[in-house]
């Protein structure tokens, strides 16, 4: 199975901050990488797919970059509704696997 390693596991930030979360795959996954946001008690919501493509309806302050094994999710100007846990997921091959998540909370 492809292992997805996220860092950091948690971070504290303030409204307006720029936040960067990284995800590393255990092998080359090209750009088959998705990012999800999960709020407490809710199902995950897709933010970005194919490493860089913003899902319809997702604010443009979210962006993704990377290819191969190293990927980044950036949130520009963090908003109150962005405090959540973020997961990466590879869709290069099955079984599809997820990172353990990065929890973003209020500083």
Partner 1 sequence: QVQLQESGPGLVKPSQTLSLTCTVSGGSISSGGYYWSWIRQHPGKGLEWIGYLSYTGNTYYNPSLKSRLSISVGTSGNQFSLRLNSVTAADTAMYYCARERIDRSGSYFFFDYWGQGTLVTVSS
CA distance 36 to 14: 20
The answer to the question of residue 106 lying near partner 1 (CB under 8 A) is no
Single residue of 37, 71, 73, 89 touching partner 1 by CB under 8 A: 89
CA distance 1 to 101: 18
Q: What is the DSSP string of 47-74?
A: EEETTTEEPTT--TTEEEEEETTEEEEE
The answer to the question of residue 71 lying near partner 1 (CB under 8 A) is no
Number of residues that bind partner 1 (CB under 8 A): 24
Scanning 17-25, 58-66, 68-76, 85-93 for contacts with partner 1 by CB under 8 A, the matching segment is 85-93
Query: Kind of pairing, strands 10-13 and 102-106?
Result: parallel
Contact string 15-54 vs partner 1 (x = CB under 8 A): ----------------xx-x-x-----xxxxx--xx--x-
């Amino acid at each position: 199975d492809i292992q997805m390693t996220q860092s950091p596991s948690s971070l504290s930030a303030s409204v307006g901050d720029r936040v960067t979360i990284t995800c590393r795959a255990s092998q080359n996954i090209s750009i088959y990488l998705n990012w999800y946001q999960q709020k407490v008690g809710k199902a995950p919501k897709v933010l970005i797919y194919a490493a860089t493509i913003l899902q319809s309806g997702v604010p443009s302050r979210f962006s993704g970059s990377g290819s191969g094994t190293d990927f980044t999710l950036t949130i520009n100007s963090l908003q109150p509704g962005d405090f959540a846990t973020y997961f990466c997921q590879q869709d290069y091959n099955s079984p599809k696997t997820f990172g353990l998540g990065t929890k973003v909370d209020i500083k």
